[in-house]
Amino acid sequence: MARFVGPEGNASDGEKTTPFDLFKEWNVKGAIAAVVGDEQVDLHREITGGGTVLPITPETAEGLDILRHSASHLMAQAILRLYPGALFGVGPSIKDGFYYDVLFPRPITDADLPAIESEMKKLSKEKLRIERIDVTAKEALERFKLDPFKTELIKDIGQERVSLYGQGEFWDLCRGPHVPNTGYLKHFKLLSLAGAYWRGDEKNPMLTRIYGTCFADAESLDLYLKRMEEARLRDHRKLGRELDLYSFQPEGPGFPFFHPKGMELMNKLLEFWRYEHRRRGYTEIKTPILLDRELWYRSGHMDYYSENMYFTEIDERPFAIKPMNCPGGIIYYQTALRSYREMPMRMAELGTVHRHERSGVLHGLMRVRSFTQDDAHIYCTEDQVEDELKAVMDLDRYVYGVFGFKFNVELSTRPPKAMGDPARWEIAEKKLQNALEESGTPYKINPGDGAFYGPKIDYHLEDSIGRTWQCGTIQLDFQLPEKFDMNYIGDDGAQHRPVMLHRTILGSLERFIGILVEHYAGAFPYWLAPVQAKIIPVTREYDAYARELQAELAKSGVRVERDGRDEKLGKKVRDAQIEKIPYMLVVGAKETELRSVSVRSRSRGELGSHTWDELKSMLEAESDPIR
């Protein structure tokens, strides 16, 4: 006789049973699946041997994952009913939703999604039981003999037995678990479609990927859809065009073009970055974009990262375009004999790097092939490591606070494919953990996601509509100093190995600008705005006075434009509002006569008439982290 133990002290004895029967006996409500020991199972899965049996409810992260995966199967069944002959790739749950890759018998568009969603609702009302069967691989191959995608997956799994899930006429190769029947799936929405190569390989067929989402209740779904609509309005690609910041051209896929206003934004960001780094004891270097390929073998990048790199040849010597700045920084370190008196050495670099990204994953400024990393490499003694880590964390906190970001922190540990002695990794991980705990920084462990040369701390920023973005990172590296035979002379006159800290604050400068555009919805704070003030003459009669004011403000360091178009005042004001300019300065007959200006603030509305000196004082009082 086996004993099954549930929540709140519930227990039952028996040879075999199901979670459904146990939860019914224990009066446990709301379960859609169960955890038996360490395994997630369906409610109607027969279990033996006793052990802990806990409910999975739809509001939990595990429950939402099951709901969404079940919704992907529901969508596939609806597609099969509407498009007989459709073939299915994979249909996983993902963050905030699910997708399914489908080979349709004919092309479809976004206009077809409502019909698929409507069919899903019909299937939900049918409350079709979702069944699991375990079969041999041979039986599975026979069942899916007309489906090349499932056939390939079954062969790749390479197991004697596999599990299948079915509901009505639709069956799929799947590990599960799933909800008991389609009636559990009520609050879903299909969102978009895109092209996706089978298994991400450009040599394979192009499938149609349909994205959707599913929630436990209507309120959560509505909130998510409202957030999605807000995100659509904040899309940095759309706002980048409207605000004339940057563009993407077919001549340079994955390589952004920054326009004059985009460069104003970038340069102000860099001015702030350099100001803070000087204050905190950093010096700045610049290393070449092209370096001998042998360097990348020495650093380990050729073993771990070559598929993301670009290569060329110069004078019959093989070179690589750098995907990271670290090896160049090490070469600089080795240009002189270093002493313990120089430690810690904080060397910053705004280095342009290139990484090959597949065309299907390029996404505006968020995923590009060329970008600028706000790197720094700190070389220090082993007993300085934790203080340097805490100093970097202090810089992170300050910089993110300036932009109004909340953040959470992850400690990523040794990955399966890692360089160096595991014992050194343990020491490095412990030092990162100590620094986090001593600085009072809440964190969670992200097992196995460290860089190939060292564990790291990652910062995930939360923007104004609750989305998170991974930006800053701090990596503790014992490996590269060993590989490059880096040394310094200690106070004992002997050679010692430095410890190397890799860190970024903003991460990719281009990506950070994209995040800022969406975070502020294009309405940048005054200090960061590409155009801080726009002078609007009521008619062209007052353009000469507007030019005079423009020159005076520019002399004071204000980034100012003048709208000299022969347009009505209302249109010029509306256009300035669309451009999200912090201050609109209207000048007409009265202002020209009194040598004044009528001021309208983007955030505070009409501020009345002001003299030039009053206006300059008002603008100087605006917050600027560089002052």
- Domain layout of the chain by residue ranges: 2-56, 61-234, 258-286+323-519, 533-620
The pLDDT value given to residue 418: 85
The rounded distance, in Å, linking the Cα atoms of 345 and 573 is: 51
Average pLDDT over residues 542-552: 96
The pLDDT value given to residue 627: 77
Q: Which fold has domain 258-286+323-519?
A: BirA Bifunctional Protein; domain 2 (3.30.930)
* Residue 10 near residue 41 (C-beta atoms within 8 A): no
The pLDDT value given to residue 15: 82
- Between residues 74 and 449, the one the model is more confident about: 74
The dihedral over CA atoms of 579, 584, 588, 591, expressed in degrees to the nearest 10, equals: -170
Print the SS3 string covering 512-527: HHHHHHHHCCCCCCCC
Joined together, the tokens standing for residue 148 give 């090349």
Question: Where residue 85 falls among pLDDT bands split at 50, 70, 90?
Answer: very high
Print the SS3 string covering 85-122: CCEECCCCEECCEEEEEEECCCCCCHHHHHHHHHHHHH
SS3 471: strand
Q: For 499-531, what is each residue's pLDDT tens digit?
A: 999 999 999 999 999 999 999 999 999 999 999
Top CATH class of 2-56 equals: alpha beta
Q: Flag whether pLDDT at 203 surpasses 90.
A: no
Q: Flag whether pLDDT at 51 surpasses 90.
A: no
Closest among 543, 505, 479 to 403, alpha carbons compared: 505
List the Cα angle 272/278/280 in 5-degree steps.
105
Q: Flag whether pLDDT at 563 surpasses 90.
A: yes
Which CATH number does 61-234 carry? 3.30.980.10
Identify the helix (H) or strand (E) that includes residue 311: strand 310-314
Average pLDDT over residues 39-57: 92
The dihedral over CA atoms of 235, 237, 240, 242, expressed in degrees to the nearest 10, equals: -80
Q: How far is the CA of 390 from the CAs of 385, 393, 432, 506, in angstroms? A: 9, 5, 9, 17
* Residue 108 near residue 208 (C-beta atoms within 8 A): yes
Q: For 284-294, what is each residue's pLDDT tens digit?
A: 999 999 999 99
CATH of 533-620, picked from 3.30.565.10, 3.40.50.1220, 3.40.50.1370, 3.40.50.800, is 3.40.50.800
Q: Which residue has the tokens 């206006």?
A: 615
* Residue 207 near residue 103 (C-beta atoms within 8 A): yes
Joined together, the tokens standing for residue 154 give 């079954």
Q: For 120-143, what is each residue's pLDDT tens digit?
A: 999 999 999 999 999 999 999 999
User: Is 118 exposed, middle or buried (CB count within 10 Å of its CB: 0-12, 13-18, 19+)?
Assistant: exposed
What pTM did the predictor assign? 0.84
Joined together, the tokens standing for residue 326 give 């670290």
Closest among 183, 185, 511, 157 to 353, alpha carbons compared: 511
The pLDDT value given to residue 430: 93
Closest among 576, 574, 616, 610 to 595, alpha carbons compared: 610
Q: For 450-469, what is each residue's pLDDT tens digit?
A: 988 889 999 999 988 888 89
Question: Where residue 419 falls among pLDDT bands split at 50, 70, 90?
Answer: confident
Q: Which residue has the tokens 């939703």?
A: 97
Closest among 116, 139, 625 to 403, alpha carbons compared: 625
> Which sequence positions are flagged as catalytic?
326, 355, 373, 375, 377, 456, 502
Question: Where residue 4 falls among pLDDT bands split at 50, 70, 90?
Answer: confident
The pLDDT value given to residue 556: 94
Q: What letters, b where the CB count within 10 A reaches 16 and e where it falls short, cover 194-220?
A: eebbbbeeeeeeebbbbbbbbbbeeeb
**Mean of the per-residue pLDDT values for the chain?**
94
Closest among 487, 496, 489, 486 to 339, alpha carbons compared: 489
The pLDDT value given to residue 2: 75
Q: Flag whether pLDDT at 1 surpasses 70.
A: no
Neighbouring residues of 275: CB distance < 8 A, sequence distance ≥ 6: 625, 626
Q: Flag whether pLDDT at 234 surpasses 90.
A: yes
Q: What percent of the chain has pLDDT over 90?
A: 86
Average pLDDT over residues 151-161: 92
Q: How far is the CA of 239 from the CAs of 93, 248, 523, 567, in angstroms? A: 30, 13, 10, 24
Question: Where residue 319 falls among pLDDT bands split at 50, 70, 90?
Answer: very high
* Residue 31 near residue 62 (C-beta atoms within 8 A): no
CA 223 centroid distance within chain = 21
Helix axes 260-279, 509-519, angle to 10 degrees: 110
The pLDDT value given to residue 618: 95
Average pLDDT over residues 371-385: 95
DSSP state of 229: H
Return the minimum-mean-pLDDT range out of 135-149, 325-339, 415-429. Answer: 415-429
